Amino acid sequence: MRRLSQQEKRTLKFGAICAIAIVGFAFATHWLGHWKKVRDLRAGIKDKLKTINVDETKRAGLMSIVPVFEMPEKEEKQKFLFRDKFNEQLSSARIKSEPLQVLPAIKSGVAGYKLLRLKCSAKCSFGQALDLLARLNENPYLVGIEEFKIECDQKKRQEVKLDLTISTFVK
Amino acid sequence: MSDSTTDIGTRRSAVAIVQDGSKLKAVELGRQGGIFEVLWTSSSEDGDLDWKAFELECSLAGEQTKKVEAADGRIVVAGFNSTGVVFYRIEVPSVRKEEIAAMVRIQAESRLPLSADQMELAWRAGQTRNGKAPVTIAAAKREQLEKFVVNVRGFEPEKILLDCEGIVKAWRTFFSGNERDAVVVSIAERNTQVCLTQNGRLSNAVVLDMGTEDLSTITRDLLVSGTSDLADQTETTERFVQDIRSVLELFGYAEPAGLPVIVLSDDSAAHEVIVSCLKSADLNVRAAYPQIEKLDGRTSPGPEDIYEYRVPIGLALTALDGDTDGLNIFERLYIPPSEAKSKRRLYSPKVAYAVAAVMLLLLLIVFYAVDVASPGAIEKRLNKAGVNTNINMLIQRQKLIKSVASQRPNLLELINQINSGDNKGIMLDKLEFKKGRVVSVKGQTKNAEQMYKFQKSLLATKGITDVKIQNADMDNKTKKLKFTMTFHYKNFTKKRALR
């Protein structure tokens, strides 16, 4: 059999390298695509974990502002849960309020949830008002205080007129 | 020269080069199955010890067998003349090889004629008997070995062997040597090598400075006189016999009658006489002649050539057999080209690039594997930690908590801050807070100065900004200054706090 010349050997080598490169490129493209998907998935999971896994200081800060929290229910259920709990807190603070007024739900800043407000008007002592404010954070349905008005009685300065509007999330 | 084109695929060959007396001799020996073939022989002129010139001569001779080389590769070995080599026999306890090496080194160093750093040594342990292993040590001056390496480097030998190992090998293969223990005498022109073999392997060797040149004169005289009366031996023969006796004693055979002494012979009359002389000294002597049964009869030379080239033939046989337990006295001084090439290949940039490429590929694969495995591993860890709830629910809850925290003003804290400031003489009547609007505080005081101080103290409070006095009127009835102040409290009173 005739021996191959140097030129023929070079051609064969070049051809082999090209063939390997083509196959490698096809494989690598597919592989890289899959890798990118996997990396995206991993990044997504990591982001989610990052959302949940806040550091200790932040967690402590959040806990001081929101010590208890219950996931919002549908409006029909949530408004009663919220009202009952708030009523309980009023009773604990020995505040006799006028009937609580549920205001219509409005749009909230969080997608998928509305904001339902509860209005309370009462006459109480200044100390009772402060007591109520101190207990409010223990309401697991409370989002925040929307409106707060406290006015001293000009004759009996220890008595105040309290107007309070608080809110909760509803689905 | 022979034709080496037949069935080249299964043939192996070895070239051995050696200095034999005042000549350089080389042989290429091929083997096919159990049959040997001397492919070529070459020797320099008497007294011509120019290794470079001989290298050229051998390469020309080797051209004839190029096909063999191309097919299977050709082993080249060089033989080192044992004249400068001393042998020692010691016994060591039966221990591991590494421990034997240490024992051998200690014992050899005490016996060596020069300091250990000027000597090179090789050793070989024999079969253990009664808990003791006999060890053969060969030692030679390093400088002498280095010179030899310089001489033979051009041949690129795969190994450098002791020529006495070649003599023993040749005796066993081509001189019908089958005794387990024997003394092999190989008489060259100007010297005689006496090799002791035990269990078929070389265990000691001595070179006598008397060869055929010295002995042929006596032989000639004996032949001319036509007498067989060996009582008239000359002083030379007596000395030769005495030397052989001394060597046998040195080998540890004080009563050598039972030990076979084999004289390698070319069937010449001179050898006959020498054998007769040794026999008359009560030695168990016999002559061994070259046997050509193992050689390819069509191409190989006759017995006289086998005798003439017995040393390189023996070395070539050793190379063909691939003996690995030879006394490699050059181990630390000479690296065979194949090993050197492999070392060079290992250190070449191509290898480095290839290793780097493989490492890079491995790195990519590891990264990929980690990325592929990590989502599953995270889920597994979450399950293990007892977080069985849907991760999306947790995220949603966390988001809501954060949102609540950002929307929950601490009014108790605000009231405390207002009261704890510089509010001497200030009486607050009303506090109004509504998200997205400024906080409004209504109060009364005796004079404006107290009001300003109160404003300042509010401004100094953390979270309160933009404190403004909206109106301040003196109540004529109460003679008090009634005022309204507004301010922003954190972000709750800014417009964006409104949803």
The contacts of residue B49 (CB under 8 Å, 6+ apart) are: B19, B22, B23, B24
Chain A contact for B399 (CB, 8 A cutoff):
yes
B356: CB partners within 8 A, 6+ apart: none
Model confidence at B256, pLDDT cuts 50, 70, 90, reads low
Q: Tell me whether residues B428 and A109 touch, CB distance under 8 A.
A: no
In this structure, the answer to whether residues A41 and A14 fall within a common structural domain is: yes
Burial code (b: 16+ CB inside 10 Å, e: under 16) for B28-64 equals: bbbbbeeebbbbbbbbbeeeeeebeebbebbeebbee
Q: Would you call B435 and A69 a contact, using CB atoms and an 8 Å cutoff?
A: no
Does A81 lie in the same domain as A162?
Answer: yes
Query: A32 and A104, same structural domain?
Result: no
For residue A63, is it within any domain?
Answer: no
Is A11 among the domain residues? yes
Domain B180-289 belongs in CATH node 3.30.420.40: yes
The pLDDT, as a whole number, for residue B2 is 36
Max CA separation in chain A (angstroms): 124
User: Does some domain include residue A29?
Assistant: yes
Distance from CA of A112 to the nearest CA of B (A): 10
Regarding whether A126 and A161 lie in a shared domain, the answer is yes
CB B458 within 8 A of CB B420: no
The verdict on A18 and A76 lying in the same domain is no
Residues A77, A140 within the same domain: yes
CB of A169 within 8 Å of a chain B CB? The answer is: yes
Give per-residue pLDDT as tens, A29-78: 998 899 899 889 888 888 877 777 777 888 888 888 999 999 999 999 99
Structural domains counted in chain A: 2
Q: Measure the CA–CA gap between A37 and A81, rounded to whole angstroms.
A: 44
Residue B236 tokens read as: 């030379």
A157 DSSP assignment: T
pLDDT band at B497 (very low <50, low <70, confident <90, very high): low
H helix or E strand, kind and range, residue B146: helix B142-152
Dig out the tokens for B100 from the structure: 């034997």
Q: Give kind and range of the element (H or E) at residue A35.
A: helix A6-52
Write the DSSP assignment of B101-135 as a string of letters: HHHHHHHHHHH-SS-GGGEEEEEEE---BTTEEEE
CATH of domain B407-497: 3.30.70.2830
Chain B contact present for A39, CB below 8 A: yes
Count CB pairs under 8 A between chains A and B. Answer: 108
pLDDT at B8 over 50: no
Among candidates A72, A134, A143 on the partner chain, residue whose Cβ is nearest the Cβ of B412: A134
Q: Are B68 and B30 contacting, i.e. CB atoms less than 8 angstroms apart? A: yes
Residues carrying CATH 3.30.420.40, chain B: 180-289
Query: Residue A108: which CATH number?
Result: 3.30.70.60
Residue intervals of chain B classified under CATH 3.30.70.2830 are: 407-497
Identify the band that residue B314 occupies on the pLDDT scale cut at 50, 70 and 90.
very high
Residues A81 and A163 in one domain: yes
In a domain, A123, yes or no: yes
Strand partners, A97: A122
Portion 96-115 of A in contact with B at CB < 8 A? 106-110, 113, 115
Same-domain status, A153 and A75: yes
| Residue B182, token pair as written in the block | 């024997």
Name the H helices within B329-447. 337-347, 349-384, 391-407, 411-420
- The model's pLDDT over B138-189, given as tens digits with 9 standing for 90+, comes to 999 999 999 999 988 888 888 899 999 999 999 998 888 888 889 999 988 8
Rounded Cα distance between A85 and A83, Å, is 5
**What value does the mean pLDDT of chain B take?**
82
Whole-angstrom distance, CA of residue B187 vs CA of residue B268: 12
Element (DSSP H or E) covering residue A92: helix A75-92
Q: What is the distance between the alpha carbons of residues B419 and B413, in angstroms, rounded to a whole number? A: 10
Q: Are residues A77 and A34 in the same domain?
A: no
Report the complex ipTM.
0.77
Q: What chain B residue is nearest to A143 in terms of C-alpha separation?
A: B404
Q: Are residues A154 and A101 in the same domain?
A: yes
**B482: pLDDT strictly greater than 50:** yes
Q: Is the pLDDT of residue B217 over 70?
A: no
Domain of residue A99: give its range. 70-170
Q: Do B374 and A148 touch (CB under 8 A)?
A: no
Chain A residues whose beta carbon lies within 8 Å of the beta carbon of residue B401: 62, 66, 69
- Do A98 and A15 share a structural domain? no
Chain position carrying tokens 């490492």: B359
* Strands (E) located in chain A: 101-107, 114-125, 142-152, 159-170
What phi and psi values does residue B446 have, to the nearest 5 degrees?
-80, -40
Could you tell me if A46 and A75 lie in one domain?
no
3-class secondary structure, A146: strand
Residue A64 lies in a domain: no
Contacts of B417 (CB under 8 A, 6+ apart): B461, B462, B463, B464
